[in-house]
Amino acid sequence: MQIGQQAIVMMYSETFYILAIALLACLPLALLLKTPRTHGGESPSAGH
């Protein structure tokens, strides 16, 4: 019983660690995104 609980805790901590690395890897990509250019004074949603 105790080994199963320890395995669950280890799995949770490793999953949290992997998600943190994925978030840090995606942060620079989010900073590279630019806002869309608008033509004239139109709002960005007016072109659909």
4-37, pLDDT tens digit by residue? 999 999 999 999 999 999 999 999 888 888 776 7
pLDDT computed for residue 37 by the predictor: 72
The structure tokens 């669950």 sit at 8
Q: How confident is the model at residue 45 (pLDDT cuts 50, 70, 90)?
A: low
Q: Please state the length of the chain.
A: 48
Q: Which letter does DSSP use for residue 39 in this model? A: S
What is the value of pTM for the model shown? 0.55
**Alpha-carbon gap, residue 48 to 43, rounded angstroms:** 11
Q: Residue 30: its pLDDT value, please?
A: 85
Tell me the C-alpha distance between 8 and 31, whole Å: 35
